[in-house]
Amino acid sequence: MNFDFSEEQKLLKKTVQDFLTEQAPLAVNRAVLESDAVYDEGLWKSAAEMGWLGAAIPEEYGGAGFGYLELVLIAEEVGRALVPIPFGTSVGLATEAILAAGKPEQKEKYLTGLAAGDRIGTLAIAEGPGPVKLEDVTTTFENGALNGTKIAVPDGGAADTAVVLANTGGATSLVIVDLGADGVTRTVQRSIDPTRTVATLEFKGAAGELLGGQGEGAALTQRVLDRAAILTAWEQLGGAQRAFDITQEFTTGRYAFGRPISSFQAIRHRLADQYVDLELARSNCYYGAWALETNADELPIAACNARISATHIGELTSVEMVQMHGGVGYTWEYDCHMFYRRAKHLGLVLGSADEWRERLIQHLIAKQAA
């Protein structure tokens, strides 16, 4: 039994953390929030240079030759620093889709760019509000042409390449599209966390190419979502831990009635509860990381566990962060709202916790039947 990261992995994490502490203070996220920028280009370049984007990409395609245990630790630090870059989307969704289903020439074409950060990828699934039914999309791909509209496309303001779930004659398939191509209209939408834009993508006869087999779209998408859920859970966990740490520090420095407010049980017991839920989420994330690294049969269940508990702790810590900061927590000037926004964003971007709970039950029933 060795349910921990290695010393090398911890060292890598430390390096990432140190870099981001230096280069990505929260002011960086605020700058994107308060401007028209859709992400921080400088940090994106750095992420590429340090091999974060290609952590799970084979070296032959420009990857860094790390593994998933390294990747999740990078994700945690990206989450902790609220770095305004399309990391989880490009790495967790687009890269994973191509790794899973790309033909060698597609891998060659896309992965190198994704690893180098020259290309930013996304995955476009949803067409309307509510839970997504992967088997049931109206966007079509016929004769090489994509038609339809995708909404809430993650990091849709930053991406230049989209993997699109489309209907291909009754079944679903994945299609890669260049967002600069003719027939693609992109509209960035107002969203709860403007530092991670979402966009509507309208396709009118846009040229695309199949990714993976015809009819494999839903299955491939689910596979990618499961894997991305684990990576995103680590990003959520990082944000939650940071929100918690800031809150703990604030409530200990803030005095009322002659003593630190964290000395009041109304605060300290709730901090204890948050700590507990953070630890539970972290443990579920560990299990997810193990499943990802070993491509274990348990991965789908591990993904649900990680996703559900990370979404819970992300929202809990950010809600409590605002509340425990009191009045200043509700001001634009303080950083609380950036955590509040990001937590909600990350909790939805791969579908709500409800959808993951439903999926978990399906897996558990299938497992009991087996």
Partner 1 sequence: MDFKDTPAEAEFRAKARAFLDEHAERLAPGESAAGFMERDDPDLIKKSQAWQALKKDNGWACLTWPKEYGGQGLSSLESVVWNQEEGKYRTPPNVFSIGLGMMGPTIMAHGTDEQKERFLARMARGDDIWCQLFSEPAAGSDLAGLRTSAVRDGDDWVINGQKIWTTGATYCKWGMVITRSDPNAAKHDGLTYLIVDMESPGIEIRPIKQINGASGFNEVFFSDVRTPDSLRVGAVGDGWRGATTTLMNERASIGGGGGGLRAEDLLGLAKKVGRLDDSSVRQRIADFYVRASGLKYTGYRTQTAISRGSIPGPEASIGKLVGAPMMQELASFGIDLQGSAGVLIDRDFGCQDSYLGSPGMRIAGGTDEIMRDIIARRVLRLPTEPRVDKGVPFNQIPSGPPTP
Residues that bind its own copies (CB under 8 A): 264-266, 269
Alpha carbon distance 132, 141 (integer Å): 18
Binding partner of residue 143 among its own copies, partner 1, none, CB cut-off 5 to 8 Å per kind: none
Beta bridge partners of residue 15, listed in sequence order:
none
Here's the x/- map for partner 1, 294-333, by CB under 8 A: it reads as x---------xx--xx-----x---x--xx--xxxxxxxx
Question: Do residues 295 and 99 lie in contact, with contact meaning Cβ atoms separated by under 8 Å?
Answer: no
How many other CB atoms are found less than 10 A from the CB of residue 357? 14
Beta bridge partners of residue 145, listed in sequence order:
142, 207
Q: Which one, of 323, 301, 315, lies nearest residue 348 by Cα? A: 315
User: Contact with partner 1 (CB under 8 A): which of 90, 95, 167, 191?
Assistant: 191
Nearest approach in angstroms of CB 142 to partner 1 is 25
The nearer residue to partner 1, 128 or 180, going by C-beta atoms, is 128
The nearer residue to partner 1, 15 or 323, going by C-beta atoms, is 323
Check binding of 180 to partner 1 (CB under 8 A): no
The contacts of residue 42 (CB under 8 Å, 6+ apart) are: none
Here's the x/- map for partner 1, 68-107, by CB under 8 A: it reads as -x--------------------------------------
In the structure encoding, which two tokens stand for residue 291, read together? 């499943």
Nearest approach in angstroms of CB 306 to partner 1 is 9
Alpha carbon distance 255, 275 (integer Å): 22
The nearer residue to its own copies, 265 or 295, going by C-beta atoms, is 265
* Gyration radius from the chain CA atoms: 20
The nearer residue to partner 1, 223 or 345, going by C-beta atoms, is 345
Q: What one-character DSSP code corresponds to residue 89? A: I
The nearer residue to its own copies, 109 or 268, going by C-beta atoms, is 268
User: Contact with partner 1 (CB under 8 A): which of 11, 31, 181, 256?
Assistant: 256
Whether the CA torsion 23, 24, 28, 32 is positive or negative: it is positive
Nearest approach in angstroms of CB 106 to its own copies is 49
